[in-house]
Copies of this chain bind each other. A is one copy, B any other.
């Protein structure tokens, strides 16, 4: 690909590259006529400054890296949507990397990001990552880093997360307030911060309503499409059996819904269901399923916004805050009806 350079303009106008450079940057010490000529010529040749040359010269590449477990996932694709929007508006390009939930690829991705001389890193840790020394090293070398969603307490950076505690509390409390007493909680990997926060919200709601916490009602895992059914069977075999399910992901909510219907368990007469899901899924399922909606896009926007502030202002003394974005509980109609909505889909 050819592209006009300062040299092209200089040659065209028989002046020097530095004059062209200054004219385009609107330097005060330059002849108005020359300036006009340069501007005109630049426009005619569709001149764009070469960001690569700029990167090589200065220390800024006007690009940031976003490292996520996977793109093909509603949550992360919505987050990236928000990230891209804000980043572009502030003049940054976005390089996207997938870890595929492995530590190895996470490290490789960060190397690649460094090689590309990105100005900062936005990361949601892979589920395999427990040791964060690779990120700490990066940070000590001066790379601005912001964590979002899957964050580590070890790592001293700003963190942007959903209000997992609040969302889980609201969902559980809602179920209790509508008469449920044995609420099963189907959730993901136990070592993730988001899992722990949701579990804490669930427990707090039980406690505040004077209900016991029963370990046997809580199940952690990475359940495949065919594993939810047996899990539901196992839980429904308990005595007394659950009268509600609170699920932590899209897959779990849909899997649970399908399993209950297949087993001819009336929803919500016998069992209620609330899912912690994403906006798009909630959208598609509405007006069928009440959900706690994850603010994925807002998290992305807030996270990138923090990162760009960090990059541009270089807050050396930036206190590593945790920013919590509220979740929304979507009940299609009145809260009384809401429990009854699950009969449809």
| A-side interface residues, number (CB < 8 Å) | 59
Partner of A72, one of B59, B80, B143, B257: B80
Interface 9-residue window, one of A94-102, A161-169, A177-185, A231-239 = A94-102
Q: Which residues of chain A in 1-34 are interfacial with respect to chain B, using CB atoms and an 8 Å cutoff?
A: 1-3
A129 contacts chain B at the CB level, 8 A cutoff: no
Question: From residue A334, how far is it (CB to closest CB) to chain B in Å?
Answer: 17
Given contact pairs A93-B116, A141-B1, A344-B262, A81 touches B98 in the complex (Cβ within 8 A): yes
A263 to B94, CA, bound (A): 45
Question: From residue A216, how far is it (CB to closest CB) to chain B in Å?
Answer: 27
A337 contacts chain B at the CB level, 8 A cutoff: no
Which residues on the B side are within 8 Å of A80 (C-beta)?
71-72, 96
Given contact pairs A142-B1, A225-B286, A345-B345, A115 touches B51 in the complex (Cβ within 8 A): yes
Q: Is A98 within 8 A of B117, CB to CB? A: no
Q: Is B70 within 8 A of A61, CB to CB? A: no
Closest B-chain residue to A49, C-beta based?
B115
A56 contacts chain B at the CB level, 8 A cutoff: yes
Count of this chain's copies in the oligomeric assembly: 2
Which residues on the B side are within 8 Å of A48 (C-beta)?
111, 114-115
A77 contacts chain B at the CB level, 8 A cutoff: yes
A73 contacts chain B at the CB level, 8 A cutoff: yes
Which residues on the B side are within 8 Å of A117 (C-beta)?
1, 3, 50, 52
Q: Is B77 within 8 A of A225, CB to CB? A: no
Interface 9-residue window, one of A202-210, A277-285, A315-323 = A277-285
Given contact pairs A2-B142, A117-B50, A84 touches B98 in the complex (Cβ within 8 A): yes
Which residues on the B side are within 8 Å of A3 (C-beta)?
114-115, 117
A150 to B74, CA, bound (A): 21
Partner of A93, one of B112, B254, B285: B112
A255 to B288, CA, bound (A): 10
Excluding A225-B283, A254-B284, 12 further A-B contacts by CB distance (< 8 Å) are A1-B59, A1-B138, A3-B114, A53-B56, A72-B77, A72-B297, A84-B98, A93-B116, A95-B95, A96-B96, A255-B284, A258-B344
Q: Which 10 A-B pairs have the closest CB atoms?
A: A72-B81, A77-B77, A72-B77, A48-B115, A254-B284, A72-B78, A345-B345, A52-B55, A71-B77, A1-B143
14 contacts between A and B (CB under 8 A): A2-B142, A51-B116, A52-B55, A52-B116, A71-B81, A72-B78, A74-B74, A225-B284, A250-B284, A254-B285, A258-B285, A258-B288, A258-B345, A261-B345
